[in-house]
Structure 1
Amino acid sequence: MMRTFRVIQWTTGKVGKLSLRGILDDPRLELAGVYAYSADKVGVDAGTLCGRPETGVSATADIDALLALDADTVLYTPFMADLDHVTRLLGAGLDVISTNLFLNVGGIRGDTKDALAAACAAGGSSLYVTGINPGWINTMVTAMTAVCRDVQCVSIAESADVSVYQSAETWQALGFALPEAPPAVLEVAKLWLSTFRDSVERMAVALGYELDEMQLFLEHQTVSETVDLGWLRLEQGTIGALRARWDGNVAGRTVLQQHIAWYLTKKLNGGWTFDDDHYQVIIRGEPEVRTRIRFVPPESWGNHEWDTMTAMPAVSAVGDVAAAPPGILTLADVGLPRAPAGLWLRDRQGGSV
Structure 2
Amino acid sequence: MAGKTYRVIQWATGTVGKVAIRHFAENPTYELVGTLVTNPKKVGKDAGEIAKIGPIGVIATDDVEAIVALEADAVHFAPSVHDLDMVCRLLRSGKNVVCPVGPFFPWERWKPDFDKLAAACADGGTSFHGSGIHPGFAGDLLPLTVARIMNRIDHIHLYETIDHLANPSNYIEFMGFGRESADLLANPGRSPEAPYMFAQSMEIVAKGLGLTIDDVTAKFDVATAVRDIDYGRGVVKQGTVAGQHYEWTGWADGKPLITYHCFWTMGDENIEPRWNAGVSGYRIRIEGDPPMEVTMARPAAAEGVQYLGLPWTAMAGVNVIPAVCDAAPGIVTHFELGVPTLRGLFRPD
Output the TM-score relative to the length of structure 2. Answer: 0.87
Specify the code of the residue in structure 1 equivalent to 2:147.
T
Moved more, 175-184 or 298-307: 298-307
1:163 partner SS: coil
Identify the residue that residue 136 of structure 1 maps to in structure 2.
137
Select which of 258, 278, 283 maps to 2:281: 278
The structural deviation recorded for 1:324 is 2.9
Q: Does structure 1 retain, via aligned residues, the 8 Å contact 2:185–2:221?
A: no
Letter in 2 for 1:245: E
Conserved? CA contact 1:205–1:330, under 8 Å: no
Q: Which residue of structure 2 aligns with residue 351 of structure 1?
A: none
SS at match of 1:154: strand
Change (3 A) 1:108 1:11: farther
What amino acid sits opposite 1:276 in the alignment? Answer: V
Alignment of 1:91 with 2:81, yes or no, is no
Q: Indicate the SS of the match to 2:205.
A: helix
The corresponding residue for 2:292 is 289
Is the Cα contact below 8 Å between 2:298 and 2:305 reproduced in 1? no
Which has a greater percent of helix? 1
Indicate the SS of the match to 1:109.
helix
**Where does residue 226 of structure 2 map in the other structure?**
224
Letter in structure 2 aligned against 1:327: G
Q: 1:6: how far off?
A: 0.8
Secondary structure of residue in 1 paired with 2:271 = coil
CA distance in 2: counterparts of 1:109 and 1:268, whole angstroms: 37
Equivalent-residue separation in structure 2 for 1:64 and 1:271 (angstroms): 51
Choose the corresponding residue for 1:328, options 327, 331, 346: 331
- C-alpha deviation, 1:281, in angstroms: 1.4
Deviation digits for residues 186-210 of structure 1 (CA, Å, limit 9, x no counterpart):
2645445554333323322333321
% same residue: 29
Task: Show the 5 A alignment for 1:105-120.
Answer: 109-120=110-121
1:314-352 superposed Cα distances (whole Å, 9 cap, x missing partner): 11111222233332322222234575566413xx4xxxx
- The question of whether the paired residues in 1 share the 8 Å contact of 2:157 and 2:259 is answered with yes
Change in Cα spacing, 1:227 to 1:297, as seen in structure 2 (3 Å) is: same
CA distance in 1, matches of 2:211, 2:309: 32
Which residue is equivalent to 1:9? 10
Give the match for residue 250 of structure 1: 252
Quote how far apart the aligned CAs of 1:230 are. 1.5
Cα deviation 1:27-57 (Å, max 9, x = unaligned): 2111111112223322221111111121111
Alignment size in residue pairs: 342
Query: 1:274/1:187 Cα in 2 relative to 1: closer, same or farther (>3 Å)?
Result: closer
Q: Aligned letter for 1:197? A: A
1:69 matched residue in structure 2: 70
Query: Counterpart in 2 of 1:153?
Result: 155
Quote the Cα distance in structure 1 between the aligned partners of 2:300 and 2:48: 23
Question: Which residue is equivalent to 1:124?
Answer: 125
Q: What do the CA deviations read for 1:283-325 (whole angstroms, capped 9, x no partner)?
A: 3334332222321376699979762122111111112222333
Question: Structure 2 CA distance, aligned partners of 1:299 and 1:192?
Answer: 35
Q: For 1:203-230, what per-residue CA distance to the aligned partner results, in whole angstroms no more than 9, with x for missing partners?
A: 2233332111111111111111111112
1:36–1:250 CA distance, 2 compared to 1 (3 A): same
Q: Does the CA contact (< 8 Å) of 1:7 and 1:29 recur in 2?
A: yes
What secondary structure sits across from 2:66 in the alignment? helix
Residues 185 and 222 of structure 2 are in contact (CA less than 8 Å); yes or no, is this contact kept in structure 1? no
Q: How far apart in 1 are the matches of 2:267 and 2:305?
A: 18
Q: Kindly report the root-mean-square deviation, in angstroms, between the aligned alpha carbons of the 2 structures.
A: 2.8
Indicate whether 1:179 and 2:172 are aligned.
no
AA of the residue aligned to 1:294: A
Distance 1:203 1:323 in 2: 25
Q: For 1:156-186, what per-residue CA distance to the aligned partner results, in whole angstroms no more than 9, with x for missing partners?
A: 1122212345345x33332210112346732
The alpha carbon displacement at 1:141 in A equals 2.1
* Amino acid across the alignment from 2:315: M
Cα 1:120–1:206 shift into 2, 3 Å:
farther
Question: CA–CA distance in 2 between the matches of 1:292 and 1:166?
Answer: 22
Displacement of 1:99 in angstroms is 1.4
**Paired residue for 1:207?**
209
Structure 2 matches for 1:183-194, cutoff 5 A? 185-186=187-188, 188-192=190-194, 194=196
Go from structure 1 to structure 2 and tell me whether the alpha carbon gap of 1:60 and 1:319 turns closer, same or farther (over 3 Å shift): same
CA shift for structure 1 position 102: 6.2
Distance in 2, matches of 1:23 and 1:302, equals: 27
**Is the CA contact (8 Å cut-off) linking 1:139 and 1:336 kept in structure 2?**
no
Residue 199 of structure 1 contacts residue 258 of structure 1 at CA under 8 Å; is this kept in 2?
Answer: no
Gaps of 5+ in 1: 349-353
Once residues 257 and 330 of structure 1 are traced to their aligned partners in structure 2, the CA distance between those partners, rounded to angstroms, is: 21
Among candidates 336, 342, 347, match of residue 344 of structure 1: 347
Q: Could you tell me how far apart the structure 1 residues matched to 2:345 and 2:77 are?
A: 26
- TM (norm. structure 1) is 0.86
- Alpha-carbon distance change, 338 to 184 in structure 1, aligned in 2, over 3 angstroms: farther
